[in-house]
Structure 1
Amino acid sequence: MDRLTKAEEPIMKIIWDKGDVFVKEIVEDLPDGTPYNTVSSLVRILESKGMVGHKAFGRTHQYFPLVKRGEYRKHMLKNMIVDYFDGSYKGLLSQILEDEEVSQEEVNELKALLNKDS
């Protein structure tokens, strides 16, 4: 599974959120005013990557996700752990716990999650 580019991510998020969607609807939901033709091209790229499929309605297409958001997250997180933490989930968790931007409440919630299955 390929990593989404910065241009593809917001489009894929809209597709995940809406399910079946036309390019026109994606354009309407994008905050930056990306042109229709650009969005259409990016959606076709997502289709070539196997991320979305389509149903034809005459000359227009309705797109839908082929890869679930959770599947994509899991795959990307696994790659990040391998690439940046030598495959160590402990290393990732240590980094999160050392991050000064993580609140004590979030640290406590993480600890509770870890202790839940113990």
Structure 2
Amino acid sequence: MQKLYDSEIKVMEIIWENEPISAKQISLIAAEQIGWNKNTTYTVIKKLESKGYIKREEPGFICTSLISREDVCRAETQSLIDKFFGGSKKALFSALLQDEKLSSEDLDELRRMIEER
């Protein structure tokens, strides 16, 4: 999976929340939520299409995702783990637990999640 930049993730979020959605509707939402102009939004849409993450169909340049939010989240998480923790999920969890005050309910839920794997 190719890296998604922050601008691309913002457009993907709009698509995931509203698909199928026209490129024009995406640009209107991006203008309202992010403050982008139409050209910026259309440029990002074209990049996402060229990467194979969305498809755009006539009439109306209707956009739909070809990749799920979950797939992007997994890939981005793995990239973070690789970049900052040498690929070690254990090191990531250790770092998270050092800074986080977890309730006993949170700890029980984490234990349950680990046991179910």
Q: How does 1:48-87 map to 2 (within 5 A)?
A: 48-57=50-59, 60-87=60-87
Counterpart in 2 of 1:110? 110
Structure 2 CA distance for partners of 1:106 and 1:29, relative to 1, 3 Å = farther
Q: Which residue of 1 aligns with 2:35?
A: 33
Please state how far the C-alpha of 1:36 moved relative to its aligned partner: 1.3
**CA RMSD for the aligned pairs?**
1.8
Give 1:81 deviation, angstroms: 1.5
Alignment match of 2:46 (pick from 44, 47, 65): 44
Query: 1:46 Cα deviation (Å)?
Result: 0.7
Which ranges of structure 1 fall in alignment gaps of 5 or more residues? none
Q: In 2, distance between residues paired with 1:16 and 1:38?
A: 19
Report how many aligned residue pairs link the two structures. Answer: 114
Stretches of structure 2 that go unaligned for 5 or more consecutive residues are: none
TM-score by length of 2: 0.83
What TM-score do the two structures reach when normalised by structure 1? 0.83
Percent of residue pairs bearing the same amino acid type: 28
Tell whether 2:2 aligns with 1:23: no
Label 1:23 to 1:34 Cα distance change in 2 as closer, same or farther (>3 A).
same
| CA deviation vs aligned residue, 1:49-94 (integer Å, no higher than 9, x gap) | 111111111xx31111011111111122122222221121111111
Q: Distance between the aligned counterparts of 1:92 and 1:55, measured in 2?
A: 41
SS class of match (2:61): strand
1:98 corresponds to which residue?
98
Contact 1:54 1:62 in 2 (8 A): yes
